[in-house]
């Protein structure tokens, strides 16, 4: 998958891997993330970083809901220097969401992913990633998940 460096506008190879035990403390001490990711240890937590670099650029915490055939995004965050209009690297959340969609296919959930965002972010998730209102949250289905995988993971 590719991330985009916003300064020169060039693409950079990235990888998503599962968090390791020592990552949680390192992230907490870095001051680069607003949330306390140690609270997510019971979930499936993944990190995105540039290949060959240790610096974590973004994180996603997932809850597997097998009875409902879906993965639920419990928390998603880009590092402080990679969010907003002045971010250094783009496409971080898109890659993490697309990775979740791929995992949802791998688990036999037909790409079904849910999310319950803060009210002020609902429109962003709908317009940027194709989420649709579903109950008290948002969700993407097979078709949207396939499109996200193609857009963010197939470069």
pLDDT tens column, 22-78:
999 999 999 999 999 999 999 999 999 999 999 999 999 999 999 999 999 999 999
pLDDT at site 140: 99
pLDDT at site 9: 65
pLDDT at site 155: 62
Contacts 24+ apart (CB under 8 A), 76-82: 76/115, 77/33, 77/34, 77/35, 79/32, 79/33, 79/55, 80/31, 80/32, 80/33, 80/34, 81/32, 82/57, 82/58
Find, among 34, 15, 109, the residue nearest to 75 by Cα.
34
pLDDT tens column, 103-155:
999 999 999 999 999 999 999 999 999 999 999 999 999 999 999 999 999 86
pLDDT at site 138: 98
Q: Are strands 44-50 and 11-18 parallel, antiparallel or unpaired?
A: antiparallel
pLDDT at site 110: 98
Rg (alpha carbons) of the chain, rounded to whole number: 15
3-state SS class at 42: coil
What is the residue-averaged pLDDT of the chain?
A: 95
All domains of the chain, ordered by start, with CATH? 2-153 (3.40.630.30)
């Amino acid at each position: 998958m590719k991330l985009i460096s916003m300064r020169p506008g060039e693409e950079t190879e990235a990888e998503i891997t599962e968090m390791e035990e020592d990552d949680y403390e390192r992230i907490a001490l870095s001051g680069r993330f607003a949330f306390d990711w140690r609270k997510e240890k019971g979930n499936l937590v993944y990190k995105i970083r540039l290949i060959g670099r240790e610096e974590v650029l973004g994180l996603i915490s997932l809850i597997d809901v097998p009875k409902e055939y879906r993965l639920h995004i419990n928390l998603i965050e880009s590092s402080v220097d990679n969010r907003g209009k002045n971010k250094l690297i783009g496409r971080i959340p898109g890659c993490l969401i697309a990775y979740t969609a791929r995992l949802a296919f791998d688990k036999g959930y037909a790409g079904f992913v849910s999310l319950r965002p803060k009210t002020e972010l609902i429109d962003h998730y709908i317009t940027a990633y194709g989420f649709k209102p579903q109950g008290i949250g948002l969700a993407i289905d097979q078709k949207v998940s396939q499109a996200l995988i193609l857009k963010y993971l197939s470069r």
